[in-house]
Copies of this chain bind each other. A is one copy, B any other.
Amino acid sequence: MTSSKTDLRVIRTRKLIMDSFITLSSKKEFKDITVKDITTEAMINRATFYYHFEDIYDLLEKVLSEVLLINLNDDFLQHNELNEGAFIILFKAITNFQKSLSNRCHRGYEETIARIIREQLEIIFYKMLLKQNVTTENEALKMTAVILSWGIYGASIEWRTSNQEIQPEEFIKPAIPYLMAGIDGQK
C-alpha cells in the first residue's frame, strides 16, 4: 500500500490540466497546443505544469491511458457485446483518434501512443470476452485479446498509411467474418 492519500490540490490540479488538454484537443491539432495554452485554460501557473508532468508528451501519454481510452472502455462495456457492430465502433474510434493526433514525429512518442492504444484495446477485448465466455479458460481468452488488439491496431495503421479515402467502416468490414469466426468458435 503506497496510498498515503494524496493532497486534494494535486488531484485537482492534475484534473484541471487533463481536462484543459482534452478541451484544447477538440479545438486544435496536438502539434499546435503549447504548455502555455494548457496552463492558461486550466488557470494554473506554467511552472506547476512541470511539477506534475515531464513535458507535453508525458501529459499526452497519461491522458491517453487515464482518460480517453478508459472512457471508451466504460461506455463500451456497458452497452455492447463483441459482435460485428462492436468491431466497427471500436475501429472507428481508433481511426478517429489517430486522425486527431498530429503527424509530427518527435521523441518517438508515436511508439508510446501505439503501445498505450494496444494495451487499452487488450483490456477492453479481454473484459468483453470474459463477459460472454463462461466456459473457455482464461488463458485462452487473454491470448485471444492480445491477438485481437494487435490485429485491430495493425488494421488501423494499414488504413492510416495507405488509403484514408476509404471509410474506416468499409475498410474493416471484410475482416469481420474472420474475426467473429474465432470468437464464435470459443463459445
Contact = CB atoms under 8 A, between A and B. Distances in A.
Copies in the complex: 2
A106 interface: no
Interface residues of A, number: 7
- A12, A44, A45, most chain B CB atoms within 10 A: A12
A20 to B, nearest CB: 12
Interface string A30-49: 00000000000001110000
Nearest to A42: B12
A47 to B, nearest CB: 11
Interface in A116-169: none
A64 to B, nearest CB: 23
A8 interface: yes
Prevailing SS type, chain A contact patch? helix
Contact of A43 (B15, B43, B44): B15
Contacts of A15: 43
A11 interface: yes
A45 B11 CA distance: 12
A43 to B, nearest CB: 4
A13 to B, nearest CB: 9
Interface in A1-19: 8, 11-12, 15
